[in-house]
Amino acid sequence: MRISEFQRWIDRLYGQKDRDRGLERTFMWFAEEVGELSRALRRGGVRANLEEEFADVLAWLSTLASIAGVDLEASAQSKYGRGCPRCSKVPCQCGEPASHGA
């Protein structure tokens, strides 16, 4: 499944509920899921639990993007499709830890 297909699927499943909840409250759910992923990683979580938490984070991120009118796949392609946004290399050759927010 491509990112855009996943985003559309999550929107079909939960889009109306999420839009009714609004961006701010939906973001709070996303932050909670990121916290759950963080705990699972810190605890050296079992693979099945990690997969579930990563999927939840991706689903909530997709929901936020849909509410905000952002196509995740197009955004990712635009920013990272040609390599590192700073040095344009693959792998990144920047002389500092990756920031991904370049």
Q: What is the mean pLDDT of residues 2-29?
A: 97
Q: 10: closest CA among 73, 49, 48, 58?
A: 58
pLDDT for position 99: 66
Q: What is the mean pLDDT of residues 28-48?
A: 95
Note whether residue 102 is domain-resident: no
Note whether residue 39 is domain-resident: yes
Domain count, the chain: 1
Note whether residue 90 is domain-resident: no
Note whether residue 97 is domain-resident: no
Note whether residue 35 is domain-resident: yes
User: How open is the CA angle 91-31-62, to the nearest 5 degrees?
Assistant: 65
Q: What is the mean pLDDT of residues 4-29?
A: 97
Question: Packing angle between helix 72-80 and helix 3-21, nearest 10 degrees?
Answer: 120
CATH number at 32 reads 1.10.287.1080
How confident is the model over 44-94, as pLDDT tens digits?
979 999 999 999 999 999 999 999 999 999 999 999 999 999 999 999 999
